Amino acid sequence: MVNVTHRSAFRGLSLVLGAALAITGVAVAAPASAAGRPAPPAPSTSSGYGGAVSSVDSEASAVGLEVLRKGGNAVDAAVATASALGVTEPYSAGIGGGGYFVYFDAASGEVTTIDGRETAPATMPLDAFIDPATGQPYPFAAAVSSGLSVGVPGTLATWETALDRFGTESLHDMLKPSILLATRGFRVDETFAQQTAANQPRFAAFPATAELFLPNGAPPVVGSTFRNPDLAKTLRQIAVHGTDVFYEGALADEIAAIAQDPQTDPAATLPAYPGYLTADDLAEYEVLEQDPTHLEYRGLDVYGMAPSSSGGTTVGESLNILENYDLAGEPTPQALHLYLEATAHAFADRNAYVGDPAFVDVPTDTLLSQDFADARACVIDPDAASVKPVAPAPLDAAGCEIAAAADPVDTENISTTHLSVVDQWGNAVSYTLTIEQTGGSGMTVPGRGFLLNNELTDFNFVPNPADPNTVEPGKRPRSSMSPTIVLDGGDVRYVVGSPGGSTIITTVAQVLVNRIDLGMTLSEAVAAPRASQRNTANVSAEQAFLDAYAAELAPYGHTFGPPAEIGAVAAIEVGDDGLMTAVAEPVRRGGGTGLVVDPAP
């Protein structure tokens, strides 16, 4: 089932409106550290009762926790947390991007999803990424930092729809904490400073971006306070007047103008290709409310995001393949070998069959069927790695022949963010949101304080009618975002998700395998070293994984590429007694923060 959700009339107009927003109701002031004062270390893991929130950022998690503490539900807290992440994690998320929202309603027992993925403009041609001068695809790095990469943002429409359908508070109130946070500022940490420095050359090419993120021509110093008054003003206008300010007002014209005619420094060498986004594209944007993907794994019900995301189908197929093996009874290297093989075969099928279902006949039911996964498991040798890349399975797969295939092209980037929330009533949200590349397109809307996404570079650049992820007007590019909710007997057990481009899929699968099969606690499952096999010749792995397992996996035939950090998980577990454990990364991407309303002793 897919329902197109039109942006509704703004619900906050009955409130007293004004340019200055009083902090009332469930809205929460920004944490003390926002003003640059030292703050105590935020825990990456907390256990307790009454509600839980986990994200990559301490300020954002604190915002969500206060919403829960004041009586808001999981959806309210998720929107407030996401908005705060747009302030403190502006290179990963914000109102210039999109994402996928998975919601579990404890009263009805139903899981619903909101597809807020960006879309290609209505006038975007099939050969948009082909250089007419050469007949070849534009270089990826050049296409990213351009108007050509900018899709129609869906984040604000997602927030509005989620609150209207499932929340108890208004968007007006849920934006207040992030308005205050953007005004007061937040402490610059190592991650923010490093990400800015890594993007300095292309940020400097766009004057509006340089003015905001390169004060005095250089990245902000660790320990300084970063303020974004332009973003505070933009969010304040949206809070007062509703999302029409963004999708139909002057701001829509400004977004379209910068995408169509990127403004660069005269000394810049970036080509900054013009894009196709128009104000009409923004006015016509719609989120999709649709059924989740579903499978059973070890007696648990696993729910994820259906296409246009490939997350739900590929995590699902991987787990269904692994259902054939007793991983808990295997030595760790054997279990890891089977995990790597399962994800490689699932990725072959993802690349062949998954795209935007409005344009592609995606065989979702087949990809999630146990029979299909059993046929895939049939070709996996428990003692040897298959030759990569493997071919996709035919949709009527029943045999056990292994075939070679072309090396897949991976156009997704690693920078995204994720949050997980469970409230006192057992409702849960798993929400992954993004602007794609670290820093998105690199283009800030002048005077508005936010970056525009580069999501359209998730399309494969070469036009091909047989490719499910080729460019088409109005199409959503395929994504690997994998917000996941796992139920046990109808109640929430795990809420999981991560950034990381196409490694999101393997990260979510590995965390679930670690927790469910390999006997780790959730905090151990998140902290454990990671490896990602996405049907490529070499396995991507973290240095800690290489140190621990490379030698033991070598006899199976697995080879490894250069070390790389993989993912930044935010997860929650709910025990049989209602004990909630909120878990974020202890180290990756600077560490995250998991908080609970009433901490256990």
Give the number of other Cβ atoms within 10 Å of residue 526's Cβ. Answer: 31
Give the number of other Cβ atoms within 10 Å of residue 567's Cβ. Answer: 26
Q: Are 553 and 486 in contact (CB under 8 A)?
A: no
Report CA torsion sign: 520, 524, 526, 527.
negative
Active site residue 45: no
Burial of 278 (0-12, 13-18, 19+ CB in 10 A): buried
Q: How far apart are CA 345 and CA 388, in angstroms?
A: 9
Q: Are 429 and 418 in contact (CB under 8 A)?
A: no
Tokens representing residue 210 in the block: 């340089």
Identify which of 475, 506, 507 has the alpha carbon closest to the alpha carbon of residue 117. 475
Contacts of residue 139, Cβ cutoff 8 Å, sequence gap at least 6: none
592 has binding-site annotation: no
Tokens representing residue 470 in the block: 């080729």
Tokens representing residue 151 in the block: 């899709």
What are residue 593's DSSP bridge partners?
55
Give the number of other Cβ atoms within 10 Å of residue 232's Cβ. Answer: 22
Residue whose entry in the numeric block shows the structure tokens 């469970």: 422
309 has binding-site annotation: no
479 has binding-site annotation: yes
Identify which of 228, 232, 233 has the alpha carbon closest to the alpha carbon of residue 186. 228
Give the number of other Cβ atoms within 10 Å of residue 139's Cβ. Answer: 11
Q: Which of 278, 416, 470, 503 is catalytic?
A: 416
Could you give phi then psi for residue 321, rounded to 5 degrees? -60, -45
Half-sphere exposure of 483 (CA within 13 A, CB side): 32
Going from the C-alpha of 354 to that of each of 20, 308, 349, 500, the distances in angstroms are 46, 8, 8, 19
Tokens representing residue 436 in the block: 């794609």
What are residue 496's DSSP bridge partners?
484
What are residue 574's DSSP bridge partners?
580
* Three-state helix/strand/coil letters over 298-350: CCEEEEECCCCECHHHHHHHHHHHHCCCCHHHCCHHHHHHHHHHHHHHHHHHH
Tokens representing residue 273 in the block: 């290709």
Q: Are 319 and 297 in contact (CB under 8 A)?
A: yes
117 has binding-site annotation: yes
H helices within 480-581, ranges in order?
503-516, 522-527, 543-545, 551-553
Residue whose entry in the numeric block shows the structure tokens 């944490």: 31
Tokens representing residue 84 in the block: 């705060």
What are residue 381's DSSP bridge partners?
384
Q: Which amino acid does the sequence have at 517?
A: D
149 has binding-site annotation: no
Going from the C-alpha of 208 to that of each of 222, 325, 415, the distances in angstroms are 22, 54, 21
Contacts of residue 364, Cβ cutoff 8 Å, sequence gap at least 6: 293, 306, 307, 313, 357
Binding residue positions: 117, 458, 479-480, 501
Residue stretches of the annotated binding site for L-glutamate = 117, 458, 479-480, 501
Residue positions annotated with a catalytic role: 416
